[in-house]
Every structure is written in C-alpha cells, then in structure tokens.
C-alpha cells in the first residue's frame, strides 16, 4: 500500500502542473488584467504600463510562470495586490469555512441517501420506490441558487429560524458553535439535497444488483432477518464501488459551493473565488486553483485507499 501511495502521488504531479499551466495561460490571455484592476478604468496607458512593469507582467509568460511555480514549491502562493494580503493567508482564513460546509453537506446527504437507496431497492416497483424516485429527481433538477433562495425566504425571512447570512470570517478556534451551526444549516442543506439524487440512485442500482447474487439468496434461505440481510450483507458489498463516488464528490462539492456561498453570503473558498474573478485578482485565483487541484488529487487517492481497505481482494502493490 505504501508503494501505491507514493506511486500515485508522483503520478499526480504532472496533473497538478498541467492544471496550473492551463489556468496561468487562460488568466493571462483574458481581457483586462491585474494592472487594469489596480489602476482603475480611468488609468492612462502610461500608468497601466508602469503598474505592469512593477508587477513583473512585462516579462515573458513562461518566465512569469516559472517564478510563480518556484514560489509555489516553497509554499508561497503569491501576494494579492487587490486585497493587500498574502494569498496563503487568505486561503487559510477561508478554507476551514468551506471544509465545514462540505463536510456537513456530505454527512447530511449520506445520512439520507444510504437508507433511502436501500429501501428503494428492497421495495423496488412499489409506490414508495416511485415516490422516492420522483423526489430525488426533483431535487436533482433544482438549481442551487433557486433552492437556496427558497430556503432563505421560508426559514429565514418568514419563520426567522435561521440567519439570512452575514457570517464573518473568524478564527475557527474561537467561534461559538450555536452561531456556526445556525449559519451552516441552510447552505449545507442546499448542497446536500441537490447532490442527493445521484447517490440515492447509485445505491439503489447497486443494491438491486446485489439482490440477484447467490449469497443474498442463501442469506434469505437461512432465515436471517430482513434487516440483517439488507444492511449487514448486501449493503456492505454495494458500498464498495460507492466509495469511489464519495471520493470524487470533493471537487463537485467545492464547485457547487461557489454559487451556494454567494447566495448565503457564506465566507468560504467559493465566495473568495467569485470575488477574485470579479476583481481580476489573478494571484488569488491561481493559488485557489492549485489548492483545488490538490483537493481533487487527495480525494481520488483517499478513494483508492479506502477501496483497497474495504475489499481485501483489491491489491495495488
């Protein structure tokens, strides 16, 4: 297993470099630029040119990338001239907020999808199966910004159960948990409900496939309780391919958080990414892209490791 982890980590390096190269090129060929963002729309061409020289943007593109990559290897993600702060400090401030949101939505979605998918497979063809399928497909078709707005209108504006937004970026070691959970509930619910459909259908299909296996018929013939057959025997085998899907959910949840965090004014990575794109804050966008690529690679690696640990037949070494 150790050899596999090291090999996969080394194989991921070209992917990480390729993502940063592509992002670097796209950002630098986009209209405008950081010099225009700093100088303002009314800045003269001479002022814009002076800003470009001071930032080193007049150098060849490959040299700019090489210097940025050299700093990245040493843990320096650059400096945001728009926000007058180190990019690493900005990300360190926002990343825990998004990780809390992602983890909460992941646990909430799994808590609903697993039992719902199992019961659909156990009662396939029934009214319950049909009704649950309609529900999950409706959840799948709802845009995150629309569903989040509905939650705000009903639970925050009408019932006053949850705050509309306004959570400030604060130290994760000092905030009070009741306030954190109150601000976290609606955005986490939005992400969980929207991602629920795919996982529920996957569990249902995998469970239906397990029902046709010989060991399932043997367990029923032995007179085991239905609950034991479903959750101890069938679900354990149905979850093995599902582990990979959960590992790949990390980038998907981060991508969805961009819109959700804007709707709920949640100060996470998604909101910072949106604001950086609007402000042409290219160093912050590059740093966030590098961190996002690392999260994707880490999620894939964790899924492969968990797959091997859950199924003794799988050996990577």
Q: How is 179-223 classified by DSSP, letter by letter?
A: HHHHHHHHHHHHHHHHTHHHHHHHHHHHHHHHHTSHHHHHHHHTT
Looking at the 3D structure of the chain, how many domains does it have? 1
Does residue 56 fall inside a structural domain? no
pLDDT at 302: 74
For residue 23, what pLDDT is reported?
A: 82
Q: What is the pLDDT along the chain (317 residues), one digit of tens a residue?
A: 677 677 777 777 888 788 888 888 877 776 666 666 666 666 677 767 776 777 677 777 788 888 888 888 888 888 887 788 888 888 888 888 888 888 888 888 888 888 888 888 888 888 998 888 888 888 888 888 888 888 888 888 888 888 876 666 555 555 566 777 778 888 888 888 877 877 888 888 888 888 877 887 887 788 778 788 887 778 877 777 777 777 667 666 666 578 888 888 888 888 888 888 888 788 888 888 888 778 777 777 777 777 666 666 665 55
DSSP summary character for residue 30: S
State the pLDDT at residue 256.
57
Q: What is the CATH number of the domain that holds 163?
A: 1.10.3720.10
Please report whether residue 63 resides in a domain. no
pLDDT tens digit sequence for 75-101: 888 888 778 888 888 888 888 888 888
Residue 300 has a pLDDT of 75
Within a domain: residue 253? yes
The answer as to whether 77 is a domain residue is no
Longest dimension (CA), the chain: 85
- Within-domain flag for 198: yes
List Cβ neighbours of 94 (8 Å cut-off, separation of 6 or more): 169, 267, 268, 269, 271, 272
In this structure, is residue 177 part of a structural domain?
yes
Question: Which structural domain, as residue segments, surrounds residue 113?
Answer: 91-274
Q: How many residues in total does the chain contain?
A: 317
Instruction: Supply the angle between the helices 87-122 and 196-211 in degrees, to the nearest 10.
Output: 40
- Residue 58, number of CB atoms within 10 A of its CB: 11
Helix (H, G, I), strand (E, B) or coil at 24: helix
Strands 85-86 and 79-80: antiparallel
For all residues of the chain together, what is the average pLDDT?
78
Q: What is the pLDDT of residue 6?
A: 74
pLDDT digits (tens, 9 = 90+) for 140-189: 888 888 888 888 888 888 888 888 766 665 555 555 667 777 788 888 88
What is the per-residue pLDDT for 254?
Answer: 63
In a domain, 158, yes or no: yes
> Can you tell me the distance from the alpha carbon of 305 to that of 300, in angstroms, rounded to the nearest whole number?
9
Contacts of 214 (CB under 8 A, 6+ apart): none
Q: Whole-angstrom Cα distance, residue 172 to residue 200?
A: 32
With a CB cutoff of 8 Å and minimum separation 6, the contacts of 202 are 117, 242, 245
Joined together, the tokens standing for residue 185 give 């509930």
86: three-class secondary structure by DSSP: strand
CB 55 within 8 A of CB 261: no
């Amino acid at each position: 297993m150790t050899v596999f982890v090291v090999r996969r980590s080394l194989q991921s390096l070209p992917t990480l470099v390729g993502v940063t190269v592509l992002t670097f090129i796209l950002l630098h060929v986009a209209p405008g630029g950081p010099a225009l963002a700093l100088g303002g729309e009314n800045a003269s061409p001479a002022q814009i040119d002076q800003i470009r020289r001071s930032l080193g943007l007049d150098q060849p593109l490959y040299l700019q990338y090489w210097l940025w990559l050299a700093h990245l290897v040493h843990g320096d993600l650059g400096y945001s001239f728009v926000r007058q702060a180190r990019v690493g400090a900005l990300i360190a401030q926002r990343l825990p907020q998004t990780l809390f949101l992602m983890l909460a939505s992941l646990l909430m979605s799994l808590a609903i999808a697993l039992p719902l998918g199992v019961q659909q497979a156990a009662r396939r063809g029934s009214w319950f199966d049909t009704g649950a399928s309609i529900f999950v497909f409706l959840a799948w078709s709802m845009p995150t910004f629309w569903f989040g707005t509905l939650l705000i209108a009903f639970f925050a504006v009408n019932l006053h159960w949850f705050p509309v937004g306004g959570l400030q970026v604060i130290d994760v070691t000092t905030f009070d948990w009741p306030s954190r959970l109150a601000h976290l509930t609606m955005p986490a619910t939005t992400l969980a409900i929207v991602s629920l459909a795919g996982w529920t259908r996957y569990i249902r299909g995998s469970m239906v496939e397990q029902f046709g296996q010989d060991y399932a018929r043997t367990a029923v013939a032995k007179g085991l309780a239905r609950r034991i057959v479903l959750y101890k025997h069938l679900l354990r085998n149905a979850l093995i391919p599902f582990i990979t899907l959960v590992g790949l959910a990390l980038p998907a949840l981060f991508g969805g958080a961009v819109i959700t965090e804007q709707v709920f004014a949640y100060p996470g990575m998604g909101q910072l990414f949106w604001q950086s794109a609007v402000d042409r804050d290219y160093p912050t966008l590059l740093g966030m892209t590098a961190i996002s690529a690392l999260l994707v690679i880490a999620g894939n690696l964790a899924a492969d490791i968990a797959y091997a640990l859950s199924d003794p037949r799988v050996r990577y070494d």
